[in-house]
Structure 1
């Protein structure tokens, strides 16, 4: 699969999905006018990647400063796909990067982490996300 690279805008995150390396990154802010339209092709690409019969390690890095409720729903859908892949034998790690002083993003990460039983979900306080 071809790499997906989308530059960040005022309302949408930077996206780097490197399928060859199994590394996926979302960073910045996410409150696009139409979250479903923004995230649908990304979710479809991840689902296609995870449909491969040979499990490969997957690392997903999120460094979000802000996201709206419709983006949260898209992230939840993405996380469900990653959790299902992990349950099927895909070694999966989600790294939730947030500034140590950002209690809101820390709490969102803690909430999302509760939905993971098979994938590894790491809370990563990192000053670089400021």
Structure 2
């Protein structure tokens, strides 16, 4: 399956989904004007990738500086999709990166992690300016 690469803008995150390597990454900020239009192709590609029989590990790096409530719902949907394949036995890890002094993003990561039983979820603080 081809990779999905979408460059970040001021309102939308960068998407770097290397399906062959099992490495998925969102970075930047996420508050698109039309969440469905922006994330629609991402969901389509992710669903197709996860539907393929494969037992290779998936690594998802979440490196967002900011996201709005509409984007939070999208992220939860992505995590639920990953949880479903992890429950079936595919190794899935999520690395939630947040800037070292950003307690809000750390707490949001903790909140998301509480809903996941089968995904290995880790929180990682990084130096200010390292995300984006």
Please state if 1:90 is matched with 2:90.
yes
Number of aligned residues: 130
The one of 107, 120, 131 aligned to 1:129: 131
What secondary structure is seen at the aligned counterpart in 2 of 1:129?
coil
Partner of 1:115: 115
Normalising by structure 2, we get a TM-score of 0.95
CA apart distance, 1:62? 0.7
What secondary structure is seen at the aligned counterpart in 2 of 1:66?
strand
In the alignment, the residues of structure 2 paired with residue 23 and residue 54 of structure 1 have an alpha-carbon distance, to the nearest angstrom, of 14
Normalising by structure 1, we get a TM-score of 0.96
Partner of 1:43: 43
Cα deviation 1:80-101 (Å, max 9, x = unaligned) = 0000110011100000000110
What secondary structure is seen at the aligned counterpart in 2 of 1:12?
coil
Q: Which runs of 4+ in 1 moved over 4 A?
A: none
Cα deviation 1:41-86 (Å, max 9, x = unaligned) = 1112111111112222100001111001111000000000000110
Paired residues for 1:67-106 under 5 Å = 67-106=67-106
Q: Which runs of 5 or more structure 2 residues have no equivalent in the other structure?
A: none
Partner of 1:2: 2
